[in-house]
Amino acid sequence: MTKGDGMVRMIIDTDTAADDSFALLVGLLHPRAQLEAITIVSGNVDFDQQVRNALITVDQAGRGGEVPVHLGARVPMARPWYAAKAHGDGKGNREWPEPAQGPSDEGASEAIVRLVNESPGEIDLLAIGPLTNIATAVLLDRDLPAKVRHLWIMGGCDNSVGNVTAAAEYNFYVDPEAADIVLRAGFDVTVVTWTLTLAQATWTQDQLDVLEAIPTPLAAFFTALDTPNKEYNARVGIEGSTHPDSLTAMLMVEPDLIRADSRCFVAVETRSELTRGYSLFDRQERRNAPNTRVIDEVDAQGFFDRYRELLEAGARPRE
Ligand code: CA
């Protein structure tokens, strides 16, 4: 996805809890990332808290006032909102310095449509929450998929057990109608699943100790936000902390970390109450033509190392 050493221009659509903040740090601080906007969608925690978490993250990265934060959908397209319980308040359940930057007056989907139309074929979208804002942007501009360079989605589970119900991963479960619209819209799209994340982007306590020992305020920010997730995981039988959103962000700017991918047909169940948000992955082309690139294997150690380097480099110095 990266042209040589070129910059990756991106918009990050996020329901900002902890790992969303870690993905934002990739956009805000990775040398090849050019983050043009952050858009907020209803998801993990209370909407206004998510806005605050995003603004705090921009501030902690030393980028206050440089990247606009746009407010999007406060509820899914057709269903009541369902909060994830894994995240506390998403900012480590503690206070941080008050960010000077406030949210933009322009709405999230409107900002996505405007930015993409100003630079057709040049902007990648990263969707790390429910797909409500992206689906709304498609409804505002039906030609949007052809003008987005690439859409990266963290969502779904590869015909396997989900993390919110046995059938479904959280982002697809919360707004299956939006996921359905987006997957049918004709984007050039890559999906990073919960299934892959759990197997290849779960960091052990030994790895987290390495990050905690990094003497930068940014590393302390990371550990403060990550600890509630690790504690929640321990209660549900996952050892360590999981990093689906930050993995997806890192793959955009470090595509060499992708070891194996495949093309297949992905669709989301919207009608069944039992399997709401279930994502079907069909690898039999004779049944369904592929519509999605799926990441099958990543360089797990490389992902950890790149993230460690990001925390070691720390926030951007204030000018
Ligand atoms: Ca998220």
| CA of 78 relative to ligand 1 center, distance in Å | 19
| CA of 75 relative to ligand 1 center, distance in Å | 15
With a cut of 50, say whether residue 97 has pLDDT above it: yes
Which spans in the chain are helix H? 18-29, 47-60, 108-118, 132-140, 144-147, 170-174, 176-184, 194-200, 205-212, 217-235, 244-253, 300-313
| CA of 193 relative to ligand 1 center, distance in Å | 12
Q: Residue 83's pLDDT band (boundaries 50, 70, 90)?
A: confident
Give the closest residue to 127 by CA, choosing from 184, 183, 203: 183
| CA of 86 relative to ligand 1 center, distance in Å | 11
CA separation, residue 23 to residues 156, 239, 288 (Å): 18, 21, 32
Question: What tens digit of pLDDT does each residue of 129-179 get?
Answer: 999 999 999 999 999 999 999 999 999 999 989 999 999 999 999 999 999
| CA of 44 relative to ligand 1 center, distance in Å | 7
Q: Which pLDDT does position 319 carry in this prediction?
A: 59
What is the model's pTM?
Answer: 0.96
Which of 157-161, 286-290, 294-298 comes out lowest in average pLDDT?
157-161
| CA of 201 relative to ligand 1 center, distance in Å | 14
| CA of 111 relative to ligand 1 center, distance in Å | 19
Residues constituting the chain: 319
Q: Which pLDDT does position 4 carry in this prediction?
A: 47
Question: What tens digit of pLDDT does each residue of 224-239 get?
Answer: 999 999 999 998 889 9
Give the residue, 6 or 242, on which the prediction is more confident.
242
Q: Residue 1's pLDDT band (boundaries 50, 70, 90)?
A: very low
| CA of 115 relative to ligand 1 center, distance in Å | 22
* Packing angle of the helix pair 18-29, 300-313 (nearest 10 deg): 70
Q: Residue 3's pLDDT band (boundaries 50, 70, 90)?
A: very low
Q: Which pLDDT does position 272 carry in this prediction?
A: 95
- Domain over 8-313 is classified CATH 3.40.50.300: no
Q: Residue 276's pLDDT band (boundaries 50, 70, 90)?
A: very high
Question: What tens digit of pLDDT does each residue of 26-75 get?
Answer: 999 999 999 999 999 999 999 999 999 999 999 999 999 999 999 999 99
| CA of 3 relative to ligand 1 center, distance in Å | 27
Find residue 295's DSSP bridge partners: 261
The full set of domain ranges for the chain reads 8-313
| CA of 16 relative to ligand 1 center, distance in Å | 6
| CA of 15 relative to ligand 1 center, distance in Å | 5
| CA of 133 relative to ligand 1 center, distance in Å | 13
| CA of 242 relative to ligand 1 center, distance in Å | 11
| CA of 54 relative to ligand 1 center, distance in Å | 12
With a cut of 50, say whether residue 2 has pLDDT above it: no
Q: Which pLDDT does position 308 carry in this prediction?
A: 98
Q: Which pLDDT does position 225 carry in this prediction?
A: 97
With a cut of 90, say whether residue 81 has pLDDT above it: no
Q: Which pLDDT does position 318 carry in this prediction?
A: 67
Work out the mean pLDDT of the chain and round it to a whole number.
95
Residue with tokens 């406060």, as numbered in its chain: 74
Paired sense of beta strands 258-268 and 279-282, if any: antiparallel
CB 172 within 8 A of CB 279: yes
| CA of 146 relative to ligand 1 center, distance in Å | 25
With a cut of 80, say whether residue 267 has pLDDT above it: yes
